[in-house]
Amino acid sequence: MPTDYALVNQKLRALGDAVRAGLLQRQEILAYARDLTGRHFQGTLQAQALERKYGYSGDFEIIDAIYQQQITHKPDLRLWDLYFHAQAAPIAVRNRKSYFLRLLDQHHSMPRKGPMQVLDVASGPARDLREWLLDHPAADVRFDCVDADVHAIEHARRLCAPFIERIEFHHRNAMRFLPSRGYDLVWSAGLFDYLMDRSFVFLLKSLLAVTRPGGEVVVGNFSPFNPSRDYMELLGDWVLTHRVDKQLIELAREAGAAPGAISVQWEPAGVNLFLHIRRQA
Ligand SMILES: C[S@@+](CC[C@H](N)C(=O)[O-])C[C@H]1O[C@@H](n2cnc3c(N)ncnc32)[C@H](O)[C@@H]1O
């Protein structure tokens, strides 16, 4: 029950502290979490996270389940999924979808000749695109989406079927290929916090290279102010590279961004940061 959340969070924090102090190994706790989850929590999002059905954490299915606040149909486990959705990280993931929708609104309202060109890197379920296009059915816009997981691409194509003439999906590894139409907005959420610094800079350089003068690159990254971190790492085996705003700015500069063109913003929970880089007109 919600009245129990504080106690559970406190216990998880104590486990996290024990790992950080070297008193326990994360793998020991995970092994225990896997056994418990396998025996008692099948059908919950926690079980789905641990299962890594597609071979990695944070696949399109779990992200879409977070967006839709999916709850197991098993009555005795519903409360556990409610606890999952009430945590800061899933709230931040839902907030970042709203953040993207607002960003699209802002760019859409700017005067331009021809369609607004958007590149979505690691597009996952593309529920954000579906929602925005449902709200803007007549928008003159062209989306290129890149995702390395063919299942994500298939799912996104189904979700966006009514708008498919305005979206091109590319089943590619973004580190190796990006379409290069010249974009007004380049967006990537849920990818950069899986990358080490070198890959972060490499990919950011590529994103800047395909952005039009006057356009903007916006990249999401979880911040260390993530109260769900212990739950994610210890019970979900979901490990991210958390970064503070200074680190994001430093990496943007390494990628060649001009200091005056960089800013960092965040969604209302303050858990997901967004690195904004404007390409000089
Ligand atoms: C956490 S999901 C984020 C999805 C979407 N951006 C969102 O916020 O709803 C991460 C996605 O990144 C994709 N991905 C991971 N590495 C990738 C890469 N190197 N190139 C392209 N896509 C990648 C995965 O397949 C997955 O669909």
- Which residues neighbour 71 within 8 Å (Cβ) at sequence distance 6 or greater? 78, 81, 82, 85
Ligand 1 touching residue 195 (CB < 6 A): no
The confidence score (pLDDT) of residue 280 equals: 83
Strand bridging mode 141-147 / 272-278 = unpaired
Distance CA 196, CA 186 (A): 20
The preferred substitution site among 64, 67, 147, 200 for testing ligand 1, maximizing ligand atoms within 8 Å of CB, is 147
How close is the Cα of 87 to the center of ligand 1, in Å?
A: 21
The confidence score (pLDDT) of residue 281 equals: 78
**Domain segments of the chain as ranges:** 2-85, 91-278
What Å distances lie between residue 268 and 93, 159, 189, 224, 272, CA to CA?
11, 27, 16, 15, 9
Considering only CA atoms, which residue is closest to atom 9 of ligand 1? 124
Distance CA 251, CA 154 (A): 33
Per DSSP, the three-state class of 2 is helix
Mean pLDDT, consecutive 10-residue stretches, the chain (281 aa), reads 95 96 96 96 96 94 98 96 96 98 97 96 98 97 98 98 97 97 97 98 98 97 95 94 98 96 97 96 78
Note if the pTM is more than 0.85: yes
The confidence score (pLDDT) of residue 107 equals: 97
Q: Which CATH superfamily is domain 91-278 in?
A: Vaccinia Virus protein VP39 (3.40.50.150)
Looking at ligand 1, which atom is closest to the CA of residue 126?
9
The confidence score (pLDDT) of residue 44 equals: 97
The confidence score (pLDDT) of residue 81 equals: 97
